[in-house]
Structure 1
Amino acid sequence: MKRDPRPKNQTTGHSRNKPAAKTGQAGKTAPKARTYPVAQEGELLAFLLEHVTGSGRNAIKAMLARGQVSVDGRAQTAYNHPLTPGQTVTVSKERIDDAPPFMGLAILHEDEHLIVIRKEAGLLSIAARHEENEITAYNQLMEHVKRAHPKNRIFVVHRLDRDTSGVMMFAKSEEVQQALQTAWRESVEERVYTALVEGIVRKPEGTVSSWLKESKTLRMYSSPYAGDGQHAVTHYKVLQSGNGFSLLEVRLETGRKNQIRVHMQDIGHPIVGDKKYGARSSAIGRLGLHARVLAFLHPVTGERLRFRTDIPKPFLKVFQEGNG
């Protein structure tokens, strides 16, 4: 990564309202925060994209994740935070004091019943006993909800492996957690992953069905005997192939532990970076698995919610000429 040769205190970007410093103005600096009045109803991310000039979509998302945005003086990180006329949105160059310093996650949706996030690869969903001192999505979000009220809590609905990125959700009450988990197959309409696998997958699409078991070393595997373990069904479709890799769209019919990882190994195309399940390549420096889409019926309101994220750029880069 190239370093910016300019001094650390030199600002970048463009300012529409303030001209560059001239002779006699050397002591003046760009404002540390800008405020924007809200004139009509909408959501926070859309408002920022419309009003904050000189910053792209990813930069604005990063500002939200870092807690640099507040509404009426209160830090907000959820993309879909509702805005009403008369409110004021403030964008700061620095983290706002009461903002949660999220690491490895961004809030896509939050209401009084649940939180939906985009988790980055490398962040634990929730810690196991031997990982209690690690930063996790769970403990960061717990800290986040307790800022509103000390008795607030969050509850795990499902998990993503540490090295899997993408969309996941947490409940804000035990009742909502139980409602989601009990009716998971009926409530969740889409769970779509993107998988970067080794080799050229010849069949344009297919289905893998097996009975999964866990070994004494905590490694999942497909049993050779029907009915021996948990039934798992995975559907896949080839999106792109080349340079010794294939990019797959993977849809889960069931949600078993390590299901996609085992099934990709079963068809002879392990996920890139997944040495536990037979991969030889570490071409992208991470596991090639991303939870791209999650669509479900809200357990309280009945509203259909759908969250879709971009395919990680490293997954696509391996298909460019000269890579792989």
Structure 2
Amino acid sequence: MLPPETPNRPLTRWDGLTEFLGRPLEEFPRESRDAYRSMSKTDRNRYDERRLLHMNTGFVIQTPEVGRIIETVQDLLYENAGLSSGHAGLHVSGPGTLGKTTAALIAMRTVHLQEVRRHPGWLADGRVPVAYVLIPSESGAVALATRIAEFYGLTVRSKETLNSLTTRICATIAKARTKLIVIDELQHLSPRDRFGRQSLSFLKDLHNQAAGVTFLYLSAEITPGEAFSGDFATQIRGRVQTHRVERYRYTTPTEKELWKELISAVERELPLFDHKVGSLRRHAQELHRHSGGSIGDLVRLMRMAATRQIRQRGAEAPETIRIEDVLALQPSMAAVDLMKRVTAVA
């Protein structure tokens, strides 16, 4: 079976992001085992492709951590709504695979859908409620500004100055009535090198000039002082809250129950015929050890195990995930690092 076709417009362009955020997150319409058996081979393959597509694009696990981040973003949106300057932001940092990107995507979808409901003619009016910018490594200010301009579909003129480009970007943000701008991979900007300082200075100006906009910064393991320093810190650090995401622990009864609930939440989303939700709870400690307490790796490993069930089983074979199916899969490098820390602490 070939991989299912998925929309390939990038999230770093307004049309791709808008299409993604507008896609409904609906419960997968499951067929019965008998209905599946009665399908032709072609129809079974199509159904399997829809199942695989759903697992890779159609569900997210909204954890308590994600809920706290979204609530903070909502608070900041109301706080910043009427401000022409001095608006606040949020910086979310932590190791990879712990849910930062998931939290950002849910926050972006929440804001996008709120604006769509408030303004039914939003698309015809040229509104772009949410923007997403991925910072390239070793990025200078012009390269970063170009990324933002390209998101909005602006053409960067030959030899255009940074000041001119910044002015046009801010005018476009205002015209598009953007409410939330997500700046991802902030760790690529270091105040210790010239390009990093230039880019941070540009972000400071953008943050100050984009009236009424809430900024959500995402980064790997850096402290606010490593990025929010120098002139950038002077202007912004006092207005940017910091939220650090951590791996899920498995020590206290409360922590153990939360981890088990997360496992069950993932199980509920897997469109398998025979898997019993809750059957992996008794293996919670093994799953915690194998994933390093990373929600991102837990989802990825269980999704991969389910994908293999769909791809390799026939119409009659049972589809269920066993603990050995998950443990046979290789965790991410980030999860391996987390596992080493868990072992070191233990």
Q: Where is the strand percentage greater, Structure 1 or Structure 2?
A: 1
How high is the TM-score relative to the length of structure 2?
0.25
Greater RCO (Cα-Cα under 8 Å, separation 6 or more): 2
How high is the TM-score relative to the length of structure 1?
0.26
Q: Where is the helix percentage greater, Structure 1 or Structure 2?
A: 2
